[in-house]
Structure 1
Amino acid sequence: MAEEKRQFQAEVGKLLDIVVHSLYSNKEIFLRELISNASDSCDRLRYAALTRPELLADDGTGFRIRLIPDAEAGTLTIADNGLGMDHDELVANLGTIAKSGTSEFLSRLTGDSRNDVSLIGQFGVGFYSAFMVADRVTVASRKAGEDAGWCWSSDGKGEFTVAPAPDAERGAAITLHLREDSREFLEAFRLKTVVKRYSDHIAIPVLLKDGDKDEEAINSASALWTRPKSEITPEQYKEFYHHVAHAFDEPWATLHYKAEGAIEYTGLLFLPSTKPFDIFNPDRKQHVKLYVRRVFITDDCEELLPPYLRFVRGIVDSQDLPLNVSREMLQHNPILAKIRTGLVKRILGELKRKAEAEDGDYLTFWDTFGAVLKEGLYEDFERREDILDLCRFRTTASDGWVSLAEYLGRMKEGQEAIYTIAGDDLAALKKSPQLEGFAAKGVEVLLLTDPIDEFWVSSVGDYKDKQFRSVAAAGGDLSKVKTDENSDEPKADEAPTDEIATLIEAVKLALGDKVKDVRASERLTESAVCLVAAEGEMSMHLEKLLRAHRQVEAERPRILELNPRHALIKGLAHRVKTGGTGPLIEDIAALLFDQARIVEGEPPADPAAFARRLVGVMEKGLGA
């Protein structure tokens, strides 16, 4: 039969869709696409042979995909021994852009038999990615069960030829005549790298013929996650974790399960034991790889896991996800949302199981990733209660980690809230004067040192009907909390009410708009003064964080609290009441204000004036 010359036929609607979505983003994808097509061809023949065993009568080697680079000829051949194509199928499938033989094959399957075949080539465009690296492509193919072979050839510019190929073997051999700028794909190392990344877990062996060397299998040809857990050793799980996470530590936890029902997918997930270097990168990307029927699709699917679980590593292999034409971006669909829901539920469930175990190993995880998981309190309203149960905190009553359930069990009689204090440093928080009154009454306070703490506390509001309340907020009422009757600590006398009232007015006058208010403190027992936020106002620590990121500019005036039980305050109150106002009192008021700022980690508003006043007061104290 003479060589035929024909015109490409395009299904215009699909072709336009391909153009709109800019088909592929990097050229190495061509190898993934061609290997995927070859795998599909083998799967199709395996399925067809169930009812026609004679199709495999001449098969003595089993299914395989071969990569044959030829540096001298400048060609790369991808050959499979799958179902193959006859003359009409070559014309129809390769001569019509966006027409998929796989899609047509699936359309002929009926009932539950569609679920028996793992096929990915639904769009019929993967083959044309070859023209990104090749200026000519030939396909020699013989369909299983037939004697005649055919050769399809094209330069991708609008025409193709189909001619007899008597020597064609069963399956298809695609030969790419590579462009000069794509000769890298003739190098064995480059081919191995691409196959390892994209097609390592294709169930068909991928063999590389490198010159005179024997053929070498360059993929594992066994998707670990598809095997029963009983057949997988801890060492195999660990090695796979090292491979998929590019990590060297041991996984802290491994989750391997298959979801069945309306949506089918397999998850093999790992929780690391050490903190990844990029865990606090601003992009907050998740790192679970997505596969469809054992073919790698992407490791950058934002919809797969929420950002607060970005420490999770592993893979998800879906049987049901529809993909866009290039397989590089998932279409928005409810299936992905359901997979995400299932993954999050599994991960949080495993964390809960670990948290309830008695070996204490959960605290190792929390110490490493607790600050990240707490982001979910601010972002994931639906699972907020579950995450709160997983949270652990440092407190004023314990050197170790404490759960909220433990905190509630230790609340004092009359205590109506869960008290918190936020700051940058744990040691500094423990010394905060704002804690003095709580310590005196034995009220436990959560010590929050992660930046996210300032945001989730106000967002969550309460736990088990107990409000979260900052000790730094003004009006922290401790009067309802019952004092320990066994306490032998003597109660300090307060300055007379009228003297304190006079001092408060004098300090207000001296400080002016530097403070929002001045009041007597219920919380202070040892310190003379402290600064607090007004009820409902932004905390000083949060304001400091926002100023560092230029989200707010000027400082807000705060409330200055005076301790009426402190000797200094009592002495000042008496002096002011007996007519001792003047420049000295003004200087002392300014010094007390700056002292309160320093305790909160803020510098004096005017360091030079602070030093001058301090020296002046010391001189007067020495009688100089």
Structure 2
Amino acid sequence: MSVDAHKETLGFQTEVKQLLNLMIHSLYSNKEIFLRELVSNAADAADKLRFEALSDDALYEDDAELKIRVEFDKDKNTVTISDNGIGMTREEVIENIGTIARSGTRKFFEKLTGDQSKDSQLIGQFGVGFYSAFIVADKVTLRTRRAGLTAEHGVQWESAGEGEFTIETIEKPQRGTEIVLHLREGEEEFANGWRLRNIITKYSDHINLPIVMAKEPLPNEDGEIDEADKGDETINKATALWSLSKNDITDDQYKEFYKQIAHDYQDPMLWSHNKVEGNIEYTSLLYIPSKAPFDLWDRDRMHGIKLYVKRVFIMEDSEQLMPRYLRFIRGVVDTNDLPLNVSREILQSSKTIDTIRAASVKKVLSELSKLAKNEPEQYAEFWKEFGQVLKEGPGEDFANKETLAKLFRFATTESGSSDQTVSLEDYVSRMKDKQEKIYYITAESYAAAKNSPHLEVFRKKGIEVLLLTDRVDEWLVNSLTEFDDKHLQSVAKGDLDLGELEDEEEKKAHEETDKNFEDLVERVKKSLEDKVKDVRITHRLTDSPACLVADNYDMSMNLERMLKAAGQDVAGTKPIMELNPEHPMVVKLKDESDESRFTDWTSILFDQALLAEGGQLEDPATYVKRINEILLKIA
């Protein structure tokens, strides 16, 4: 089959077209970053080849000197970036460039408003990468061949970035990738050796392999150029930044290195550079981004920490070096205490990796603790971006549960807004005399939590309650069951016991009331036996006639709803119905002798309590009919 027969024209994924348009307009004021992004991709390709060649050195194809080349052509108005790294197959080109098949993409684009100034702030969350080429180019030609394949398996991809691209099979003798940018009119400044050198020095100086360009020697007095002055020169230092002393690295260099490895164009929030010596020797350079990446909630997308052994890239897989709840951390770890041919299987059982991971986690949590203490406003920004992910921590990192708990922030009945600003230490410091527990409620929204009938007695007594409305909170409270020797107690589970916050007189009055309403409780229980697990008189309500609670060891009603909404088959448990003996409706129900009206009233009370919980009625039509009948009688 001929080469031409393999040529086809394909359409960009809709999201790619949106991203290109957004990126070109958002980043135009900082358009020189296209070179940083393409050079960074080339360095990644070289790192991947190094790693794969550890088990198959034939991939080097008699060319083990890895490097990146940058060229320009003033006459053609082009800039070319090429590498002799791993390269790509035809399928990989389509997957990596034609589509954005990453979890969270749709959510990212749903955030877009159409307002260029607002949307431009979101582009850093997505990452820039290859598409930055279209900031300065009106056509991009990519030629590539994967290491290990023969020359006839080369691939050429070409696009003007306007909705479609062509892809065809070509002959490519050298492995690796070459990207030719056909510069837009007005972008001639980049077809200039001095300009390109300046950008490389500014953004990519510490890429740890050579970035070379052809020398541009000046002619002598006779207008001739000495042959000895021709050839290539290395533009960057080609020294791993993390291997240098902290005293020799400027803040700007730290920031640019972060942008290179994270493909982010915003500065990091903070970083920690450590060289550890002793039984295990390693260097770590860890960053906390200023903004959450768009795919933060994809727990299976583990990237961010690059592992090096003796300056040789091994893999990018933070699962071995950082727990999932810290998956937003970016950086590098370099050690001499692992073999170069280390595999994922070896990493999983490596004591060296376990030690590095434990120390790295403690370092990150220590930096966050310092930030929370010394820069509360900046920590509040961090919490808005990453708080929900951090809450996954107690469930998977028992050793650091106490440290994590101090980092958590919540909205409460006393904080006055949905902003999560109250720490557990703040809460404990404000606890009432004789208060033994930390009280909380989980709900699907701040309004639902704040207005829940379960809070009525707590509001009356001035007891602060945590309002937990993040989806992850249901899992958090299953793992974080106490803080500072205080048990965390749901106000919507179990029988209410305020302990010594109730005096003996109140308890005596409650016991007497319970006796007076025993007959009503039995009648309601019989009437609703298919819907409730139990019925009892409550003293947690002051305004509402009834509420529903879960038994102590049952799943909360909020969690049950969440799981069902996610399509999971949940064996739901019946709730316990509690009646307020002081409410006029309950008092009237106590004296109701007509069984039909009694059944209607109990059903209405149950349905109203269910709605107040955020639940859905099984039979809304019957509920409406009963309400209408009552309204007509009143009218």
Provide TM-score, normalisation by structure 1: 0.66
Instruction: Evaluate the alpha carbon distance shift between residue 547 and residue 598 of structure 1 in structure 2; reply closer, same or farther with a 3 A threshold.
Output: same
Give yes or no for the alignment of 1:180 onto 2:185.
no
What is the Cα deviation at residue 231 of structure 1? Answer: 2.6
Q: Could you tell me whether the CA contact under 8 Å between 1:268 and 1:316 is conserved in 2?
A: yes
Do structure 1's residue 316 and structure 2's residue 307 form an aligned pair? no
Q: Point out the structure with the larger helix share.
A: 2
Out of 373, 384, 387, the residue aligned to residue 370 of structure 1 is: 387
- Alpha-carbon contact 1:494-1:570 (below 8 Å) kept: no
Which is higher, the Rg of structure 1 or of structure 2?
Answer: 1
Q: How far did 1:23 drift?
A: 6.4
Structure-2 change in CA distance of 1:330 and 1:189 (3 Å): farther
**What amino acid sits opposite 2:64 in the alignment?**
L
C-alpha offsets along residues 186-207 of structure 1, whole Å, 9 cap, x if unaligned?
84769x9xx99xx985766453
State whether structure 2 residue 534 is matched by structure 1 residue 534. no
Residue number in structure 2 paired with 1:215? 232
Q: Secondary structure at the match of 2:489?
A: strand
Matches within 5 A, 1:296-315: 296-315=313-332
Looking at structure 1, the residues matched to 293 and 305 of structure 2 have their Cα atoms a distance apart, in angstroms, of: 14
Mapping 1:422-501, distance limit 5 Å: 422-478=442-498, 480-481=500-501, 500-501=517-518
- Secondary structure of 1:361's aligned partner: helix
Match of 2:612 in 1: 599
Would you say 1:389 and 2:406 are equivalent positions?
yes
Within 5 Å, give how 1:15-414 maps onto structure 2: 30=60, 34-35=64-65, 132-133=148-149, 180=171, 183=174, 185=176, 187=178, 201=206, 205-208=210-213, 215-217=232-234, 220-324=237-341, 330=347, 332-357=349-374, 359-399=376-416, 401-414=421-434
In the aligned structure 2, how far is the partner of 1:427 from the partner of 1:26?
59
One-letter amino acid of the counterpart of residue 414, structure 1: K
The residue type equivalent to 1:411 in the other structure is: M
Question: What's the offset of the Cα at 1:531?
Answer: 0.4
Counterpart residue type for residue 463 of structure 2: V
- CA RMSD, Structure 1 to Structure 2 (Å): 3.9
C-alpha distance 366-131 of structure 1, shift in aligned 2 (>3 A): closer
- My pick for the range that moved more, 181-190 or 509-518, is 181-190
Gaps of 5+ in 2: 1-50, 72-81, 85-144, 152-169, 182-195, 218-229, 504-508
Aligned counterpart for 2:441 among listed residues 417, 421, 427: 421
Cα deviation, residue 30, structure 1 = 3.5
Correspondence 1:568 to 2:574: no
Alpha-carbon separation, structure 1, partners of 2:576 and 2:213: 75
Deviation, 1:370, is 1.1
TM-score (normalised: structure 2): 0.65
Count of residues in correspondence between the two structures: 460
Counterparts of 1:229 and 1:615 in 2: how far apart (Å)? Answer: 75
Match of 1:586 among 574, 599, 612: 599
Separation in 1 of the partners of 2:173 and 2:575?
Answer: 66
**In 1, Cα distance between the equivalents of 2:484 and 2:343?**
49
For 1:569, give the aligned amino acid: V
CA distance 1:359–1:548, change in 2 (3 Å): closer
Distance 1:551 1:360 in 2: 39
CA distance in 2, matches of 1:246, 1:287: 10
Aligned to 1:248, the other structure's residue is in SS state coil
2:122 maps to none
AA aligned to 2:148 is M
Q: Equivalents in 1 of 2:441, 2:311: separation in Å?
A: 49
Q: Contact 1:519–1:561 (CA<8 Å) still a contact in 2?
A: yes
Q: 1:24·1:326 contact (CA, 8 Å) conserved in 2?
A: no
SS of residue in 2 equivalent to 1:207: strand
Partner of 1:53: none
Structure-2 change in CA distance of 1:496 and 1:378 (3 Å): closer
C-alpha distance in structure 2 between counterparts of 1:270 and 1:440, whole Å: 46
Secondary structure at 1:360's aligned position in 2? helix
Q: Secondary structure at the match of 2:300?
A: coil
Q: C-alpha displacement at 1:461, in angstroms?
A: 2.0
CA, structure 1 residues 608+205, in 2 after alignment: closer, same or farther (shift >3 Å)?
closer
AA at the equivalent of 2:443: G
Change over 3 Å in CA distance of 1:617–1:327 after alignment to 2: closer
**2: CA distance between counterparts of 1:264 and 1:568?**
72
Partners of 1:605 and 1:467 in 2: CA distance: 35
Partner of 2:137: none
Question: What CA distance in whole angstroms lies between the structure 2 residues aligned with 1:498 and 1:297?
Answer: 72
Matched ranges for 1:489-568 at <5 A: 500-568=517-585
Q: For 2:83 and 2:405, locate their aligned partners in 1 and report how far apart those are by CA, in whole Å.
A: 56
Task: Give the C-alpha shift of residue 358 in structure 1.
Answer: 5.1
Identity, in percent, stands at 43
